[in-house]
Every structure is written in C-alpha cells, then in structure tokens.
Amino acid sequence: RSGFINLDKPSNPSSHEVVAWIRRILRVEKTGHSGTLDPKVTGCLIVCIERATRLVKSQQSAGKEYVGIVRLHNAIESEAQLARAIETLTGALFQRPPLIAAVKRQLRVRTIYESKLVEYDPERRLVIFWVSCEAGTYIRTLCVHLGLLLGVGGQMQELRRVRSGILGEKDNMVTMHDVLDAQWQYDNNKDDSYLRRVILPLEKLLTSHKRLVMKDSAVNAICYGAKIMLPGVLRYEDGIELNQEIVVITTKGEAICLAIALMTTAVISTCDHGIVAKIKRVIMERDTYPRKWGLGPKASKKKMMIQKGLLDKHGKPNESTPDSWKKEYVDYREASKKEAAAVPQAVSEVERASKRKRESESESDEAVTPPSPATPPPEELSKKEKKKKKKEKKAKEAAESGGEQIEVTSESSTKKKKKKKQKEVEESSE
C-alpha cells in the first residue's frame, strides 16, 4: 500500500484538497505531496502514500520544469528580442512572492537553470515558454520580470508543471479518475493490477541516488538506528563521493534508508572496518527483517553468564566475574566514553604541567636572589597589600558618590594649613 502516485493535478482545487481526496479514496492514514501548485496550475504532482511520505522533503527540494503562457500588454518589435529577454532570465534571480501568495512577501534568491521560447503569437501577444528552475521559484513573478525587460508589461495566463524531480509527464502520469477507478476495481473485483499501475513503489523516486547494498543480517539494526558499518556492506556502487546523499538497500532492492556518505568508493574498497555513512532518514519499518544482533559467540556467552549470575543484569562485571572475561571483553560504548573523557583530562594535564614549570621557574628566581633583611615576611606584605586595596576602594566609592564632597574636604584641608602657618608666624614674632 505504501508508494507514490505521479498525479496530473486538475485545474481548480488546491494541492492540499487533491491530496486529502486521495487519502479518502485510498483509505490511508498518511499522504504528502512534492511541492504546492497554485489552484489554477495543472501538471505533475507527486503524491506520497504511507511510508513514502518520509521522502517528501527530498522531493520538495528537487528541481522543477514548467511550460507557461504569458500575455504581453503591448506589441513588441520582434520575436528575437523576446527570445533574448527569456534567455537573460537565467541564473540567480531576486524574487518577491506575488500578492496572492500565501507566504510572507520577503525578497529571496532563486536559480533558473534554463529557459527558452517555444512559440510567439504576435496577433494575440501570447508567449509560450519553457523553464527549468529551482524549487520555490515563482513563475508568476518571472512573467512580470519578462514584461519589465521588454518594456511593455506582461502577465501569466496559464501554467503547467511538466517535471518534478526525476519524474515527468511521460513517467506513468495518472488522473484523479484513474485513482478512483483503480480503487473501485480492487474493492469490487479484488483485482489489484490497476492499482499497482497507479501506485508506484517508492524505490522509483530514488533511482538517481548512488546505492549501498547491505547484508540481510544488518537490515533491522539499521532500521533501529545503528551505524552503517563496513562489515555489513555487501556491494557498493562506483562513484560515491564524500558527504553525498546515497540510498541504502537490501539484496532484494528494498530501500532501507537515505544516508550521507562518510567514505568514498576508493576508501570503501581499501578498508575493512569503519563507518561508511550516517543515516539521514530511515524508510523501512522496524522488524520487517528478523533481528540478528546479539546472536554472535560473545553475545551468547554474555547472556549465559548473566543467567548464571557471573555478570549483573546489565551485563557488567560483578564480584563473581572471572578475571579472564575482564581481560578479554571490551565494551565499546564505555571505551568511547573513556576516549571522550580522556580529551579534557589530557588538556588539564598539559595546563598543570605548564603551571608546575612556572612555579619551578619562580622558585629558582627566589633561590638566585636571596631576600634582603630589610624586606618584611610575606604575611606582613599581604596585610599591607590588603590595606592598600581597602583605601583604594574607599577612594573610588567617594569619587563615585560625587566630586562635591572631595572639593569640600580639599577646601577644609587648605584652611587648616593656613591657620597653622598663621600660628607659626605669631609664635615667631613673640
């Protein structure tokens, strides 16, 4: 039941309505689509069903192709001028969503990969053009820009999406009537052949990706989120590059997950261990394949020792654990934790060593220059320093509280000095 439909969207309903109708017709729980089309726009809409909805995000970000009709507001000089204007509208373009768009009207950059003129009718001033562009491009805005370039103004009349990602109009496109008929055939005649033609397997969306074939024993572990390790890889495709999105499949060709490659093909062929890729999105349901982890000689021995009480219930050593097990068995989870903890410890040890060096250098300096008898012991020095700091603090507080008090105190001190001088003068005269 999980798969996708390459649907030819009809003209008036919105993409959301169409997807809701398909959910009701097929009586499924989950549906999603490959990118919104405006109500009046027709063409290729990939509707994902059940498990295939996990691929919706990758389909929404895929490139799109459109065929559109523009009506020019005035006549132009020649068709060559129009062809030149359409060709100039390629590369990275600034776009602001149109007024009728249901999104925030922010300026954004979208890439037009290719655009060309298909046909021009000078009598009715209608232009048919073809565009290959990035996901999220507004063709309505592109038509307005074309009108501005020509200096006559233009407006989009019709639009049809002819390709979405790797699927086009000729890749088994079906209508809403086909979906309804296929479900009716299955309900009344128990004939699923028509339904199989309408709903395609989700693996068809991933045919452009590079592949890794896994052993059957590793499949369920990956579904539970295990790392894609090299011993579990059975076959691999040529031309895998670092950080490339790849698809991990079974020996039957069923998609297990999408992953990001951490090794190139050359590295995979030369290595015998290591992480090949990190999981991006798991596609297969858990327990589709049998569980195969915990069946090896070490794991089975560990289970037996837990039953006998030689290990605790978590499989960790206790008082009755034999020494041979402690020496032989390596818990990789704890080892990775220790490695992570060892890094900051090493840094702290380096810092301690540098501190010791400084201390030893300072001690050697003290030994070279013996303390003079006049210098007081370090305890007294520290007391003096504390007193100095207190005085400085008080002075700062006084300065912050206001400069007026300081001025008053300075004036009073000058008056006292004058009085002292006068007394001295009087005494000398007597």
**SS3 for the chain, per residue?**
CCEEEEEEECCCCCHHHHHHHHHHHHCCCCEEECCCCCCCCEEEEEEEEHHHHHHHHHHHCCCEEEEEEEEECCCCCCHHHHHHHHHHCCEEEEECCCCCCCCCCCCEEEEEEEEEEEEEECCCCEEEEEEEECCCCCHHHHHHHHHHHHCCCEEEEEEEEEEECCEECCCCCECHHHHHHHHHHHHHHCCCHHHHHHCECHHHHHCCCEEEEECHHHHHHHHCCCCEEHHHEEEECCCCCCCCEEEEECCCCCEEEEEEECCCHHHHHHCCCCEEEEEEEECCCCCCCCCCCCCCHHHHHHHHHHHHCCECCCCCECCCCCHHHHHHCCCHHHHHHHHHHHHHHHHHHHHHHHHHHHHHHHHHHHHHCCCCCCCCCHHHHHHHHHHHHHHHHHHHHHHHHCHHHHHHHHHHHHHHHHHHHHHHHHHHHC
At residue 423, φ and ψ (nearest 5 deg) are -60, -45
At 174, give phi and psi (nearest 5°): -125, 160
β 42-49/154-164 pair status: parallel
Which sequence positions are flagged as catalytic? 38
Count of residues for the chain?
430
> How far does the chain reach from its first CA to its final CA, in angstroms?
125
C-alpha span between 417 and 210 (Å, rounded)? 95
